[in-house]
Amino acid sequence: MTPPIVRTLAELRNATRGWHRAGESIGVVPTMGALHDGHLSLVAAAKAACDRVIVTIFVNPKQFNQASDLDNYPRTEEEDARKLARFAVDAVYVPDVSQIYPEGFATNVSVGGMTDVLCGAHRPGHFDGVATVVSKLFTQTSADKGFFGEKDFQQLMVVQRMARDLDIPIEVVGCPTIREEDGLAMSSRNLLLSDRARIKAPLLSEVMQEVAEKLAAGESFAPLQAAAVARLTSGGFTDIDYFELRSCAALEALEWPTEPARLFAAAWLAGVRLIDNIDVPVVPASG
Ligand code: AMP
C-alpha cells in the first residue's frame, strides 16, 4: 500500500499530535525526492529506531545557487511513493513552497565556520538554505530523530550543529554512504549523467580509495592531491571543485591523517556535479 501523502503543515500536525499523545517516537528522513537505495537505507534506519517515520520530499529552492540546477533537478513523486510502500512509512510529507516559506518569510538560519570550506566555498548560500529548511522540517515534524547520509558529510555536520545551537530536541543520526556496485556513490544527480558519463563516473571513488590507501601507508597529501586531480581531469572530469583531506571534527585541512579524517571531493562530469567523501584510517604522527 502506498503511504499517506501529506501536503500541508496542518495535516502533518494533526498526525503527529496523535502520535505524541500515544507516546510514540517519530523519525524524520528529509529528502529532495528521486529516491534511490541511499535514501531508502535512511528510511530503514528510521523504521528500526522509531515508532513512526515521516519521509519528507521537498526540492528546496533556497539551497540551489543556480536556477538551471533547480529546474533540472529530477522529480519522480509517484515512483518515490511506490518505493516507500514496502517500508510502511507513516507519512510522506510533500509540502509546496507555501508550507515552508509562506508569504513574508524572512528568516535565515546560518551556521558559521564549517560552512566556509568545501561545498560552502563553492556554492554560496547553499548551507544557509539547508540549515533553514532542515530547521523548519525539524520543528514542523517535531521528530525525535532525524536521519542523514554521510554522503553529504558537511551537511550532516551543519545540521548537527544547527540543531544543537537552536536547542531543537532532536537526535541527528548519520548513516553510511550507499554505493553502486562499481563504487559510485548513489545520488539523485546520477540520473542526469549520460550513458557515456555514467561509465566514467566511478573514477571519482576509485581515485579517492587509492589516495586513502596511500595516506594509510604514510604518504603526505599534497603530492597525492595533485596526482588525483590530474587523473580525474584526464579521465574526463572537467572541473575539480575540491579534492581535500580534512578532519572530521572541524573540517580542518590536513597534510596527514593524524586524527579522524576524511577525503572530500566535488567534481564536474559532463555538466553534472558529483560529490563524495570517504573515511581515512588514522596514521599516528611519528616522532
Ligand atoms: P537528497 O535527496 O540528495 O537531499 O538527500 C537526502 C538524504 O539522503 C541526505 O541526508 C543525504 O545525505 C542522503 N543520501 C543521499 N545519497 C545517499 C547515499 N548514497 N547513501 C546514503 N545516504 C544518502
Would you list the domain boundaries of the chain? 5-175, 188-278
Q: How far apart are alpha carbons 103 and 101 in whole angstroms?
A: 7
Q: Which CATH superfamily is domain 5-175 in?
A: HUPs (3.40.50.620)
Q: In this structure, which topology does domain 188-278 adopt according to CATH?
A: Pantoate--beta-alanine Ligase; Chain: A,domain 2 (3.30.1300)
Q: Does the beta carbon of 47 sit less than 6 angstroms from any atom of ligand 1?
A: no
What are the grid coordinates assigned to 124, written together? Answer: 554560496
Query: What per-residue string of b and e applies to 19-38 under the rule 16 or more CB within 10 Å gives b?
Result: beeeeeebbbbbbbbbbbeb
Q: In what order do the strands lie in the sheet with 171-175?
A: 5-6, 91-93, 52-57, 26-31, 145-149, 171-175
Q: Does the beta carbon of 151 sit less than 6 angstroms from any atom of ligand 1?
A: yes
The two beta strands, 261-269 and 272-280, are antiparallel
What are the grid coordinates assigned to 97, written together? Answer: 513552497
What is the distance in A from the centroid of ligand 1 to the CA of 39? 5
Q: Does the beta carbon of 187 sit less than 6 angstroms from any atom of ligand 1?
A: yes
Residue pair 15/56 in contact (Cβ under 8 Å)? The answer is no
Choose which residue among 152, 157, 158, 177 to substitute to test ligand 1 binding: the one with the highest number of ligand atoms within 8 A of its C-beta.
152
What are the grid coordinates assigned to 121, written together? Answer: 566555498
Q: What is the pLDDT along the chain (287 residues), one digit of tens a residue?
A: 789 999 999 999 999 999 999 999 999 999 999 999 999 999 999 999 999 999 999 999 999 988 998 999 989 999 999 999 999 999 999 999 999 999 999 999 999 999 999 999 999 999 999 999 999 999 999 999 999 999 999 999 999 999 999 999 999 999 999 999 999 999 999 999 999 999 999 999 999 999 999 999 999 999 999 999 999 999 999 999 999 999 999 999 999 999 999 999 999 999 999 999 999 999 998 75
- Output the residue whose Cα is nearest ligand 1's atom 22: 149
What are the grid coordinates assigned to 147, written together? Answer: 536521519
